[in-house]
Structure 1
């Protein structure tokens, strides 16, 4: 068998696996930052994390974070660290509000994930119902979807960060909320995510999972977490959905 023939066989096998995974799905749960868009393409998450740390230090709270947390490149890590030490406090509420404002700023320069827009519209057109289940603010999701003309594909099923930060993924809370609101059994749904926390939340909720790994690092992290069905592009998913429409 030539290398070209081998490649074609792998592609056909992958497409068959995708079809088998998506065909039973009547409800599709999307993570937001990653599968739908790169939220921080123009307003870096690393800079937001640094600003949150500096804001805390400016209030004399330098010792609230560990050295690793202060160096984190993920603003969610900073937020959750503060919540673990002061759950439900005004400090956490104010920090979450600051993060939401930064996410809203980032949404103006967010970059659509290749093939995401047509995939969302096609999946809706063939009769599937879509929801967003994310650790980002639902305000940010609604703002971005409106800018792309995609609101009607998801609304009102947008489930994001609340004041109960212990319910962020990998906790399955937002997935369960979506399933309950849409009257769907877990096995009749599909979660599309790009992080181990997405996979773990889907597994906890009993929802089949399709991982979107846009680079080798993402793929390695997802596989190490236990995810087995992965794609590096949404193009074959779009092709499969068109095939079952």
Structure 2
């Protein structure tokens, strides 16, 4: 897709939905997701003993989903609280994505609202925005809550739909920027045009395959397109 076409996609959007881990920052840059998963598993085992049916599960969100599926509500809630706390710690050492702050400021300057739509915890997103003095650039944060069913996380369209309802705008007047396949799938299911942030080799093709309307390899491309639009 050409720069002009990317600008056209953005110009039609009256609200920008941004994923958090990827487009805004590298959340687990200093506290890797694999270590978060190990710490989550260790915390559960220290309090409740070893949980069966989890040996083949990798990744903190995958663990959270499985704890919800196979364990008691007490264990599932403790897992959600522990993952939330780990993500807040990770937010303290997260590395800002180059150009992300410029994107947030450019969108705000254009008069359009910004919503962060994330599978990470509300508290982690809020902590990062506060630590980097970006809260004024974000109108709404729609992210994982402790009491939330993990099945409602992206690729389910629940989070983008909540963001649209919170801002009061229709799906066709929004655009979602995300780096994962689940972001693009959630956007498509919610009827929201999607822009893929292809920050690793192979992502551009994968994002296009699942329906991304455009892809960028750097967030600065969005700034240029916003200024053009």
Shift of residue 220 of structure 1? 4.7
Q: Determine which of 179, 182, 186 is the counterpart of 2:171.
A: 186
Q: Which moved more, 1:143-152 or 1:116-125?
A: 143-152
Q: What are the within-5 Å matches in structure 2 for residues 79-118 of structure 1?
A: 79-86=64-71, 89-118=73-102
Structure with the bigger percentage of helix = 1
Shift of residue 57 of structure 1? 3.5
Counterpart in the other structure of 1:170: 155
Counterpart in the other structure of 1:233: 218
Q: Determine which of 129, 134, 147 is the counterpart of 2:113.
A: 129
SS at match of 2:65: helix
Name structure 1 gaps, 5 residues minimum.
Answer: 1-12
Alpha-carbon distance between aligned partners in 1 of 2:56 and 2:210, rounded to the nearest angstrom: 22
SS at match of 2:30: coil
Counterpart in the other structure of 1:206: 191
Shift of residue 85 of structure 1? 2.1
Query: Structure 1's 79 and 220: CA in aligned 2 closer, same or farther, altered over 3 A?
Result: farther
Alignment of 1:23 onto 2:8: no
Alpha-carbon distance between aligned partners in 1 of 2:152 and 2:38, rounded to the nearest angstrom: 24
Q: Which has the larger radius of gyration?
A: 1
- 1:195 and 1:221 in contact (8 A); partners too: no
SS at match of 1:203: helix
Alpha-carbon distance between aligned partners in 2 of 1:217 and 1:50, rounded to the nearest angstrom: 28
Aligned length: 226
Counterpart in the other structure of 2:30: 42
The two structures, once aligned, show a CA RMSD in angstroms of: 1.6
Counterpart in the other structure of 1:9: none
Name structure 2 gaps, 5 residues minimum.
Answer: none
Alpha-carbon distance between aligned partners in 1 of 2:210 and 2:31, rounded to the nearest angstrom: 28
Give deviations 1:202-230, integer Å, cap 9, x for gaps.
01110000000111143354244343521
Alignment of 1:61 onto 2:66: no
- 2:193 and 2:212 in contact (8 A); partners too: no
Query: Structure 1's 208 and 148: CA in aligned 2 closer, same or farther, altered over 3 A?
Result: same
Q: Determine which of 196, 202, 206 is the counterpart of 2:181.
A: 196
